[in-house]
Amino acid sequence: MTDPRLARIEDLLTLKADGRYGLAEINQRQHALQSAWLAERAGCPASLIAAALMHDIGHLVHDLGENPAEAGIDDEHEAVGHAFLTQWFGPEVTEPVRLHVAAKRYLCATESDYFGKLAPDSIRSLELQGGPMSADEVAAFRALPEAEAAVQLRRFDEEAKVKGLETPPVTHFMPYVAACIR
Structural domains of the chain ordered from first start: 24-159+167-180 (1.10.3210.10)
End-to-end CA separation in angstroms for the chain: 17
Global pTM reads: 0.92
> Which distant-in-sequence residues (6+ apart) come within 8 Å of 155 by Cβ?
none
Nearest residue to 12 via CA among 52, 42, 57, 56: 57
Tens of pLDDT, residues 60-71: 887 555 555 555
Tens of pLDDT, residues 70-84: 555 556 789 999 999
Would you place residue 128 in the very low, low, confident or very high pLDDT band (cuts 50, 70, 90)? confident
